[in-house]
Structure 1
């Protein structure tokens, strides 16, 4: 999410893009003064622009840059805010695809309040050294289950991660999970959540129908890469309830909830990270955050899975060291099992590329499925299969039976 803008016009305020998310000029001036830590500013001009960001979220309604100039008494200076509207997922276009008979259940299945509440909390003061969060200049919490967050812009490195970066992040996530002060806000979201919400929703509705369909396994994007795992994945699918019960019974600690590299902004200094997009923050089994850390970029096609087992092992070791640094004694077997069960439920079974099959069908129908696109899809499916293979292996290896 690089902050690139159309320059504001001197003396003009054009924030119409924000609609109801906007504030008046006096409030914007007050936020700029707060950002700059000065008594007051004269607001000179401002403009709003949509953030160029291509990863959808059911909990995010809008992402907008607000940029302009103000004068605190020493001449015009530029300012920038990142404005994010978050909401209950009933406001998401995706909610329209929920079967009517499941509407009431679906409304209660996805918590969304954590990010709003955390930006209004002292989380920044509780995090271990090396982790930070953006500063919130304003949090507008609305009665219609939406909220608008006005956040400082975080400068960060856009360099690709290497193993050292992943290992550093894993260690800090371990410290986050083990930290006593972080634990005090781990359950800040009052909305209840249980793993069965995910099993009965995401897995049962979007994964299992395709997994149990013979046509899926015959598809050219699936057969070469997943067919050898069909029996194993089907066995896991038939064992979902006991696996979910095991997940629920595990020791739970604070978790970011979606700790993929995209949500851990690498500081420009090269050391430490800024946490963003923690709408799924809550208590989760110890080791939960390792899953998205090591496979998140593979899932969205940003990196290959060639070194996944080795990378995951290095991250597990670093995460354990982070827990220990916070004085938390977690047996190695418990940590590894927590990682294995979490990974299988949230990444292993969902790795079956059902959305790619649907996309390929649509492109083919429109005559737009080129050889280049087919090759890219095949490569992505192969990487997703590597996630499934790793998930199956660690689940079997850590099975207490």
Structure 2
């Protein structure tokens, strides 16, 4: 009748599951009894350093004498040092690196009132349970939300950017973002991943001689190294920018298109916090390009469209912002978080294939666009 063994430590007792089913169906005091339940692993091809597993839990329950189906999306979130990828962190900086990723943020989000503060057009999956497993992990039990399988055209990017602008400026969203503390900051990113992982790669002559890099990035080497040398000043400028709220990873993969096709369900709130204005434009623009789901050919067109729509979204929530000023902060963010790290250093030990060459060319296009934007706004 029940097989949830795939969940491992993320599982709950039948009594707790029954209570979540009752809440899912708004059963109130009506009796709820589990009939069947099963868990299956969610296929997911993108690594996430704080995610220990994803599952669907489906089944049937008797709710007030009537058999009802239920479905939950379960996600195990753990401290960064529990990820297998943490083994690649140099031993001498592991203790410091362990504190650089705010893995507790999603639990805080789903225990907050954020859902009630979202502007119209955005939604949050309903959390039926946020269950602590131990001092370094917890499990989220979320409702299964309907998703429309549609293409992301320019109009959809504009709509997403407008709503992200409203999200950034909405007073209730900003209040929840500020309540999260400062486990992670722009400065910590610059001093952490960028300084320890990205900049050494840029400074190694062997990087630029590698076939994947020599072809795609040849014309970018002097510009990327010049930007690297300016990073202390550029980083300080970014850190000093006006702060609103930010999702933190607003790629299309984390903006599920709702069946009404005019709004989105936001997921993956690991880096939701107070962030510089325009921060979410970066991943909205290049997220699908980075993972090969979209061409880089229209970066400039989408960038301008999204920037204008985002600023309109800010204004809709009463925050008037200068378009040129937001463009400058966006340029700084895109360079620091995507442009300088565009070299495919994670593949430099792999056999060079046509697919990797194509990926490197796409990454180079991201770096080129970020540098162009920096020059245009400087």
Q: Choose the corresponding residue for 1:280, options 260, 268, 271.
A: 271
Q: Which TM-score applies when normalising by structure 2?
A: 0.96
Against the structure 1 CA distance between its residues 188 and 94, is the aligned structure 2 distance closer, same or farther, given a 3 Å change threshold? Answer: farther
Matches of 1:391 and 1:98 in 2, distance apart? 27
CA RMSD of aligned residues (A): 1.4
1:45-84 to 2 correspondence within 5 Å? 45-73=36-64, 75-84=66-75
The question of whether the paired residues in 1 share the 8 Å contact of 2:107 and 2:130 is answered with: yes
The question of whether the paired residues in 2 share the 8 Å contact of 1:116 and 1:141 is answered with: no
- After superposing on structure 2, the runs of 4+ consecutive aligned residues of structure 1 that deviate more than 4 Å are none
Equivalent residue, structure 1, for 2:17 = 28
Per-residue deviation at 1:81? Answer: 0.5
Instruction: Say which SS state the counterpart of residue 305 (structure 1) adopts.
Output: coil
Matches of 1:22 and 1:296 in 2, distance apart? 32
1:249-260 to 2 correspondence within 5 Å? 249-260=240-251
Q: Which TM-score applies when normalising by structure 1?
A: 0.91
Matches of 1:20 and 1:194 in 2, distance apart? 31
Equivalent residue, structure 1, for 2:355 = 376
Per-residue deviation at 1:394? Answer: 0.7
Matches of 1:213 and 1:220 in 2, distance apart? 14
The question of whether the paired residues in 1 share the 8 Å contact of 2:55 and 2:73 is answered with: yes
The question of whether the paired residues in 2 share the 8 Å contact of 1:113 and 1:191 is answered with: no
1:123-272 to 2 correspondence within 5 Å? 123-272=114-263
Equivalent residue, structure 2, for 1:315 = 306
Equivalent residue, structure 2, for 1:366 = none
Matches of 2:337 and 2:108 in 1, distance apart? 25
Corresponding position: 1:338 with 2:329: yes
Equivalent residue, structure 1, for 2:26 = 37
Matches of 1:103 and 1:357 in 2, distance apart? 23
Instruction: Say which SS state the counterpart of residue 110 (structure 1) adopts.
Output: coil
Name structure 2 gaps, 5 residues minimum.
none
Per-residue deviation at 1:144? Answer: 1.2
Per-residue deviation at 1:142? Answer: 4.5
Per-residue deviation at 1:389? Answer: 0.7
Corresponding position: 1:359 with 2:350: yes
Equivalent residue, structure 1, for 2:108 = 117
Matches of 1:67 and 1:220 in 2, distance apart? 48
Matches of 1:240 and 1:313 in 2, distance apart? 24
Matches of 1:242 and 1:195 in 2, distance apart? 13
Equivalent residue, structure 1, for 2:289 = 298
Per-residue deviation at 1:333? Answer: 2.2
Per-residue deviation at 1:317? Answer: 0.4
Q: Deviations over 1:258-281 (max 9, x none)?
A: 000000000022110000001001
The question of whether the paired residues in 2 share the 8 Å contact of 1:114 and 1:188 is answered with: no
Task: Identify which range, 100-109 or 124-133, moves more after superposition.
Answer: 100-109
Task: Identify which range, 351-360 or 377-386, moves more after superposition.
Answer: 351-360
Matches of 1:130 and 1:235 in 2, distance apart? 41
Instruction: Say which SS state the counterpart of residue 349 (structure 2) adopts.
Output: helix
Per-residue deviation at 1:171? Answer: 0.2
Per-residue deviation at 1:215? Answer: 2.2
Equivalent residue, structure 2, for 1:395 = 374
Q: Deviations over 1:130-168 (max 9, x none)?
A: 000000001113551211111001110222211111110
Per-residue deviation at 1:358? Answer: 2.4
Corresponding position: 1:108 with 2:103: no
Instruction: Say which SS state the counterpart of residue 311 (structure 2) adopts.
Output: helix
Matches of 1:194 and 1:289 in 2, distance apart? 15
Per-residue deviation at 1:319? Answer: 0.2
Instruction: Say which SS state the counterpart of residue 303 (structure 1) adopts.
Output: coil
Q: Deviations over 1:176-234 (max 9, x none)?
A: 01111211111232343232321232222222222122222222222222110100100
Task: Identify which range, 315-324 or 213-222, moves more after superposition.
Answer: 213-222
